[in-house]
Amino acid sequence: MLKMSNDKAFTEEQKQFLSGFAFGSDVARAVSGLPVISNGSSCAGDASVTIGAKPTTTLPVGPEKIALIAQQETESAGKTLCKEELAKREKNPLDMWDEMQTRSDAGEFPKGTDVFLTKFHGLFYVAPAQNSYMCRMRIPGGLLHSWQLTGLADLADRSAGGFLDVTTRANLQYREIPADQAMNILYGLRELEIVNLGAGGDNIRNCTASPLSGIDSDELIETIPLAKRMHHYILNNREMYGLPRKFNIAFDGGGTISALDDTNDIGFHAVAIDASNATADFPAGVYFQLTLGGITGHKDFARPTGVLLRPDQCLAVAGAIVRVFVQSGDRTDRKKARLKYVLDDWGFDKFVAAVEEQLGDTLGRFEESKLTRSVAENRLAHIGFHSQSQSGKSYVGVVLPVGRMTSDQARGIAKIANEYGNGEIRLTVWQNLLIPNLSDADIDAVKEHLLELGLGYEASSFRAGLVACTGSGGCKFAAAETKTQAMALAEHLESQFELDSPINIHLTGCHHSCAQHYIGDIGLLGCKVEKGDDMVDGYHVHLGGGWGDRQGIARLIFESVAFEDMPTLISSIVGGYLEQRREGETFVEFTSRSSDDELRSLARALV
């Protein structure tokens, strides 16, 4: 027996060297048709590698092996992998660059499972809605620079539809990308220092943060730096690409514009411990409360785990959570493949224990009642001019009609940010953008330039909370043309009412809930409605959703209402609320105390 001269066991480094050496010997013998002697794979806890056609098991190699082992374990348990998992096993989506280049050169779109695998590079073939690609980016924390936005506008003109869409993850999308422009888009983004690898498919999506990070006098801590670090952590750890389904991470600093962290798989929400509640393990200061399992499209918010983290712990903990999810998520049923369902099955205690085992450390807990939470959120803070924490400085929230701006408008915004600000542009989860660090003396000039671009800086209490997904004009799943109809609905309501508190209206085209209809004061889910001999656009109407302190899932009150009847119906609901509300009562408070029948009675003549 080989033994260390000082009788000590092998170091971990020595074990890994010997394991690799033995595994290489196994491979060489297998290639030569000789029997495997060393069983070198056993040190890694895996099966043997497939060489040629004879061996029946596979040894994954590299960091991504945890996902492949999870697939093996699923099949070993007698279960059947879904087609997407089979596609990922057959071809690593991250190894398709040359293949995509060949397809782009030929002016061809992907077919079969390649449509799904190409999403891992942020490219979505959206036929039959459009015979083109949509491209989703990665803009961590929503922070852009003027030179990037100018470059994105130029690229939109060269290779996409000449416009940019802001998403509900403080991100950007291109649409109307021809087949032969796919690689020009991917190369162009990287030249603008925007790496969108993993922007689609079964990956961690754009990491969001509080858009006023660093300029908000009410925030507890800056969060954009953390979102950027998380972004690079994901890009540089291949285990982060082996998920059973998509995954969302958000950091909220407790300021005036919410990052909607409670709708994410992982939410880091800033809280404070004051001196009277401090302990030796948790001195007075700012921490992040860890919440898990948000997926409002499945009617669930992220829930507190009891774990409290220092800012410097967040990345490692997020990585451990993702690794446990990779190992434990459902790979047979796409509808049950999100983190929520692991938590429902395991319970939070078991899941957090697995995360601690992955980390090799115990996570600290702190009694929630002794934490101080910020109550600074302002639902209109993402629109209009507002003072910053820096003396003499302001930011402006620019109104983008349901999140869309033309390439000329994007160049104009970049010019304003460069000439009057510090070159920053910040995207929000409310499908608009902010231009920060404006001198108060320049506000009038900025207003004039925005109006010249055809953009506003004021919004009604309807339009400020108006959110719409792409809709049937650009998404094969959508049952309604959400963006156009959202604008028509807002215009109708503005002509009827003037609100003293905002009412958020979220229009989403399908059950995927990209516009998060369940958290809107009024949430509209697209459907087709029979009207005479035709099937027309319509919506299921949900009332009473909210987030944060107003957290709640909107209830289905009206089903299958044709859009042509929607302005009258929503007007009746809003009018009834204004007539019947108690003093100072918000819409969500009104709907919360009202029964379903009472809410239906607001529009009895229409149902």
Reduce the DSSP state of residue 174 to 3 states and report it: strand
Strand runs (DSSP E) across 202-340, as ranges? 249-252, 266-273, 285-292, 303-309
470: left (phi over 0), alpha (psi -120 to 50) or beta: alpha
Going by C-alpha positions, the residue among 543, 427, 463, 474 that lies closest to residue 175 is: 474
Predicted structure pTM score: 0.86
**Per-residue model confidence (pLDDT) at position 502:** 84
**Per-residue model confidence (pLDDT) at position 539:** 94
Contact 164, 173 (CB under 8 A): yes
Confidence band (pLDDT; 50, 70, 90) for 42?
very low
CA distances from 146 to 95, 488, 496, 516 (A): 32, 32, 38, 29
Q: Each residue of 536-558: pLDDT tens digit?
A: 999 999 999 888 877 888 899 99
Tell me the mean pLDDT in the region 556-575. 93
**Strand bridging mode 555-562 / 534-543:** antiparallel
Kindly state the tokens that stand for 171.
Answer: 């991100």
Q: Each residue of 341-385: pLDDT tens digit?
A: 999 999 999 999 999 999 999 999 999 999 999 888 998 899 999
Kindly state the tokens that stand for 487.
Answer: 């604008």
Going by C-alpha positions, the residue among 450, 550, 467 that lies closest to residue 505 is: 467
Rounded to an integer, what distance in angstroms lies between the CA atom of residue 468 and that of residue 508?
6
3-state helix, strand, coil in the chain (%, to 5): 40, 20, 40
**Per-residue model confidence (pLDDT) at position 22:** 53
Q: Each residue of 104-155: pLDDT tens digit?
A: 999 999 999 999 999 999 999 999 989 999 999 999 999 999 999 999 999 9
Please list, in sequence order, all residues whose beta carbon lies within 8 angstroms of the beta carbon of residue 419, skipping any fewer than 6 positions away.
Answer: none
